[in-house]
Chains A and B, each alone.
Chain A
Amino acid sequence: MLLIMFLRALLVLLFITILLNPCFSIGRTPSDDSSFTTKLLLSKGRCCTEEVLLKHTDLSYISEVTDMLGCSFNGQTYREGELIVKFREGVSEEDIKKLLESMNAAIINKFARLRTYLIKLPPGMDVPEGIKVFRNLKEVEYAEPNYIRRTFEGD
């Protein structure tokens, strides 16, 4: 109960951040590729005035930031009822199947060379909920929506 309240408070905080910083982006900067470098541009208005340079090796951090800024959950940018999930090294396929079974979720597809799975969420669970649930599992390295990519072709 306390945890849920805490999470709610966190969400409110995140939304305040969004409102204050409508202009936000992550781009690549020329740097050594050993660590993933992101450039976060934050500002009070539409134009980016304040630059914050962050070095981050943890990719899930980046994804969380983009999610919290609402980039991910606008319109039909991902497929409903599905998640792309990478499990941590050492988690066996047996463990994964049991875990998913207990949650009433299922494997749709498996990408062997990437140790990554396409997961069917339990009926009634939407993608934002699923992200929260899966990211809290200790077996999960990351979980993200199954985004849609489009062609870049004009007329």
Chain B
Amino acid sequence: MQSQTTSGGPLKGIRFIGLSVLVFLIAISFISCNEGSSSTDRSKDVRQPYGVAGRDFSEGEIIVKFRRGIPFVDMMKTHLRVNARVKKTYKYFPEIYVARLPEGMSIEDALREYLRDPDVEYAEPNYIRRPFIVPDDPLFSQQWGLNKIDAPEAWEIINDASSVVVAVIDTGVDYAHEDLSYNMWVNPKEVAGNDLDDDGNGYVDDIYGINAINGTGDPMDHHGHGTHVSGIIGATGNNGIGVTGVNWKIKIMALKFMDGSGGALSDEIECIDYIIDMKQRGENIKGVNGSFGSSQFSQAEYHAIRLLQDYGIIFVAAAGNEGSNNDSNPVYPASYDLPNIIAVAATDQDDTLADFSNYGIRSVDLGAPGVNILSTIPRNGYASFDGTSMATPHVTGAVGLLSVYLTSYNYIQIKETILSSVEPLPPLSSRLLSGGRLNLFYALSFPGRPVRPTGLSASSGTQAVVNLSWIDNSQIEDGFRIERKTSSTPFIPIGDPLSANTVSYTDSDVEELVEYTYRVYAFNGNGNSPYSNESKVRTPLNAPSGLTAIPVSPSVISLSWTDNSSIEGGFRIERKKGTDPYATVATVSSNIKSYADTGLSSSTTYYYRVRAYKGISVSAYSNEASATTPASGGGGGGGGCSVGGKGAKRGGAILYLLIPLIPVLIKWIERSIRKEAL
């Protein structure tokens, strides 16, 4: 419940607008369809029980969405014209308003008024949403995880994934469980109980899957883990028995390779081999649940999951229960760098990462409920377990449901839909790639958006220019957009949208000595990704450059430099001789670009550097320049001149041309000048 308050307004807004988008079409036809029935319904103070449609929308208010880019003033004018008051606005949806209608105005009239305005994209009643599709499974009220991922809201859209098969590679499944038997995959080519390998796949009577440990067709679970995992994915929903799964209906393929103490990789590989075989035979397998792992990298396992990818099958893997960082201590199969793997961490009822759960900003994708999870166990039992093992099947279930709802989507689009529609959890932003926890309803409401970028880093060098870089985690983005804020301005987009696969940007439009905060998001035609992390940088005072030092007499060296700062308070000139440390010799005020250093010794080489300052802030140093004073008494204004950095004034154009070509020539010219001076 705490999480609800911390997630705050924008999230509520997102959900709300999600609903609005979904009912947009209904809204268009609203006026003609709903007019009669809704206006006569006056039972507004009667609390309606779940499952009974009562009042359809809030009286006296509507939701209005203006077109993008309409000025604030114009939107306000529209409200004024209708004589409505703004009741609510949303931070991330500035064009959407909840408008309170004037006394006596009907919803229908208000909608008509607003829709007359070409600035209005849509207007619709403020519909009341109720979790009216709550399943009648008696233990549903104890399944906090399903409410957390907004499953009841999602089930209004879809709850039947019976056309999809998901494979559970685990300790087997109690396929006879009262709450699972209905949702077991059944091998269509195998005749039960005839002791024959009817389909010729090497297994006798493999009706629900296989037992790879003993090579039989009986994956019965004698441990409990696999049955528990399966119930989370798809315990039969709304059947008046036990619990419900993420999917009310689905086909679970039972593949057994572990007993109580674990299982050998060879047997897991056999299960994957079976999946590929069944996929080739036309079974609509979309996801595999892998609630297991250990620290050893295996090429065979890698190749097996890589082969699943070729068949468009997503492998959902548990991140592990060591409470450690998978980026540095990988757990396989979750940590393989394969695009069809989704690695899942466990969250609790307060939406914090479970203390046992592994994490990793690069290698763990999202969180899902994994503490105190009630599900099925063998012999018609029900029990609560903890673990990333329990978080994983929530996501596998989502893969199943989304695969049915988004039939045209490939595995990448399904995966990115899940990762881009998480509920952002700020404490997890730096620990999980997606930065949040599974939300089934958002996934159905905002499909096809790209995964957010991560690892945003902003930095500055000696000049006030900000270099940004980030990691592109999406394969379906059209581009990126960068936003920037300062202590006095909110986040606003900067520059033009950047093209797909861009991973860096240079922001030159910045002022000196200002702290900027950046964030970036990916976008495509379906919408925007969540934001990356925020990265702060304080721009420097621009350092002066092009410092030159010219000896004008045995005791004077003339300095000049380029002033790159527009806000400096002045410059500090530092000098050294030989191996002495640098010391400040003078401070000059702003916009001064030259200085004559007097009182020097003759025939001595001096080194100089300059930096700008403002208050207590200083810039980086300029280049270093040196000059050698001529011997005294010789007369004339010549003298040795050797200039570090950008170039010399003495020697004129010829010298400039020759410097990059023949440094030897310079020495020769210098010698001749010195000779001349003597």
The verdict on A86 contacting B268 (CB below 8 Å), with A28-B337, A154-B387 known, is no
Does A52 have its Cβ within 8 Å of any Cβ on chain B?
no
A-contacting 9-mer, from B140-148, B290-298, B441-449: B290-298
Does B464 have its Cβ within 8 Å of any Cβ on chain A?
no
Contact B296 A152 (CB under 8 A): no
The verdict on A33 contacting B336 (CB below 8 Å), with A116-B300, A149-B292 known, is no
In the bound assembly, the distance between CA atoms of A102 and B362 in angstroms comes to: 46
Contact A79 B269 (CB under 8 A): no
The listed residue with most B CB atoms (<10 A of its CB), out of A62, A82, A84, A152, is A152
In the bound assembly, the distance between CA atoms of A29 and B337 in angstroms comes to: 7
Contact B294 A113 (CB under 8 A): no
Contact A145 B302 (CB under 8 A): no
The verdict on A84 contacting B300 (CB below 8 Å), with A41-B328, A148-B294, A153-B386 known, is yes
Residues 460-496 of chain B, each 1 if its beta carbon lies under 8 Å from chain A, else 0? 0000000000011100000000000000000000000
Does A147 have its Cβ within 8 Å of any Cβ on chain B?
yes
| Chain A hits for B329, CB < 8 A | 25
Contact A153 B387 (CB under 8 A): yes
In the bound assembly, the distance between CA atoms of A51 and B14 in angstroms comes to: 40
Closest CB-CB distance, B196 to chain A, in whole Å? 21
Does B225 have its Cβ within 8 Å of any Cβ on chain A?
yes
Does A68 have its Cβ within 8 Å of any Cβ on chain B?
no
| Chain A hits for B304, CB < 8 A | 111, 114
Residues 21-58 of chain A, each 1 if its beta carbon lies under 8 Å from chain B, else 0? 00001111111010011100100000010000000000
Name the residue of chain B whose CB is nearest to the CB of A35.
B337
Does A5 have its Cβ within 8 Å of any Cβ on chain B?
no
Does A92 have its Cβ within 8 Å of any Cβ on chain B?
no
Number of A-B contacts (CB under 8 A): 167
In the bound assembly, the distance between CA atoms of A77 and B298 in angstroms comes to: 12
Contact B262 A149 (CB under 8 A): yes
The verdict on A25 contacting B263 (CB below 8 Å), with A77-B294, A111-B270, A153-B386 known, is no
Closest CB-CB distance, A32 to chain B, in whole Å? 9
| Chain A hits for B567, CB < 8 A | none
Total number of B residues with any Cβ neighbor in A under 8 Å:
63
Q: Which of B292, B296, B300, B328 contacts A25 (CB 8 A)?
A: B328
Does B199 have its Cβ within 8 Å of any Cβ on chain A?
no
Contact B360 A113 (CB under 8 A): no
Name the residue of chain A whose CB is nearest to the CB of B339.
A33
Does B409 have its Cβ within 8 Å of any Cβ on chain A?
no
In the bound assembly, the distance between CA atoms of A78 and B385 in angstroms comes to: 27
Name the residue of chain B whose CB is nearest to the CB of A29.
B362
A-contacting 9-mer, from B319-327, B516-524, B657-665, B668-676: B319-327
Closest CB-CB distance, B455 to chain A, in whole Å? 8
Closest CB-CB distance, B281 to chain A, in whole Å? 12
Residues 263-279 of chain B, each 1 if its beta carbon lies under 8 Å from chain A, else 0? 11110111011001100
Does B307 have its Cβ within 8 Å of any Cβ on chain A?
yes
| Chain A hits for B392, CB < 8 A | 152
In the bound assembly, the distance between CA atoms of A66 and B126 in angstroms comes to: 59
| Chain B hits for A111, CB < 8 A | 269-270, 272-273, 304
In the bound assembly, the distance between CA atoms of A84 and B415 in angstroms comes to: 30
Does B338 have its Cβ within 8 Å of any Cβ on chain A?
yes
Q: Which of B265, B270, B360 contacts A149 (CB 8 A)?
A: B265
Name the residue of chain B whose CB is nearest to the CB of A66.
B297
Contact B291 A27 (CB under 8 A): no
In the bound assembly, the distance between CA atoms of A26 and B334 in angstroms comes to: 12
Name the residue of chain B whose CB is nearest to the CB of A83.
B266
Closest CB-CB distance, A69 to chain B, in whole Å? 11
Q: Which of B265, B328, B472 contacts A84 (CB 8 A)?
A: B265
Contact A147 B264 (CB under 8 A): yes
In the bound assembly, the distance between CA atoms of A30 and B319 in angstroms comes to: 17
In the bound assembly, the distance between CA atoms of A155 and B354 in angstroms comes to: 13
Main SS class of interface, A: strand
In the bound assembly, the distance between CA atoms of A63 and B332 in angstroms comes to: 13
In the bound assembly, the distance between CA atoms of A48 and B225 in angstroms comes to: 35
Name the residue of chain A whose CB is nearest to the CB of B360.
A27
The listed residue with most B CB atoms (<10 A of its CB), out of A60, A112, A113, A145, is A113
Contact B292 A82 (CB under 8 A): no
Name the residue of chain A whose CB is nearest to the CB of B356.
A154
Contact A152 B265 (CB under 8 A): no
Contact A148 B263 (CB under 8 A): yes
Q: Which of B263, B272, B298, B337 contacts A144 (CB 8 A)?
A: B298
- 8 A Cβ contacts from B224-261 to A: 225, 228, 257-258, 261
Does A138 have its Cβ within 8 Å of any Cβ on chain B?
no
In the bound assembly, the distance between CA atoms of A92 and B454 in angstroms comes to: 47
Closest CB-CB distance, A143 to chain B, in whole Å? 9
Does A59 have its Cβ within 8 Å of any Cβ on chain B?
yes
Contact B276 A113 (CB under 8 A): yes
The verdict on A26 contacting B318 (CB below 8 Å), with A84-B266, A154-B387 known, is no
Closest CB-CB distance, B404 to chain A, in whole Å? 26
Does B389 have its Cβ within 8 Å of any Cβ on chain A?
yes
In the bound assembly, the distance between CA atoms of A72 and B299 in angstroms comes to: 13
Does B174 have its Cβ within 8 Å of any Cβ on chain A?
no
In the bound assembly, the distance between CA atoms of A45 and B294 in angstroms comes to: 24
Residues 97-127 of chain A, each 1 if its beta carbon lies under 8 Å from chain B, else 0? 0000000000011011110101000000000
| Chain A hits for B268, CB < 8 A | 149
Does B303 have its Cβ within 8 Å of any Cβ on chain A?
yes
| Chain B hits for A154, CB < 8 A | 321, 356, 385-387
In the bound assembly, the distance between CA atoms of A64 and B360 in angstroms comes to: 25
Does B363 have its Cβ within 8 Å of any Cβ on chain A?
yes
Name the residue of chain A whose CB is nearest to the CB of B385.
A153
Contact B297 A114 (CB under 8 A): no
The verdict on A86 contacting B300 (CB below 8 Å), with A114-B307, A149-B263, A150-B258 known, is yes
| Chain B hits for A153, CB < 8 A | 225, 228, 291, 321, 385-387, 389-390
The verdict on A152 contacting B264 (CB below 8 Å), with A25-B329, A27-B328, A111-B273 known, is no
Q: Which of B171, B261, B319, B362 contacts A28 (CB 8 A)?
A: B362
Q: Which 6 A-B residue pairings sit nearest by Cβ, starting from the closest?
A: A28-B337, A154-B386, A150-B262, A152-B389, A153-B387, A118-B266
Some 16 contacts from A to B, beta carbons below 8 A apart, are A26-B335, A28-B335, A28-B336, A31-B337, A59-B303, A82-B266, A108-B266, A114-B272, A114-B273, A114-B307, A146-B264, A151-B262, A152-B320, A152-B392, A153-B291, A154-B387
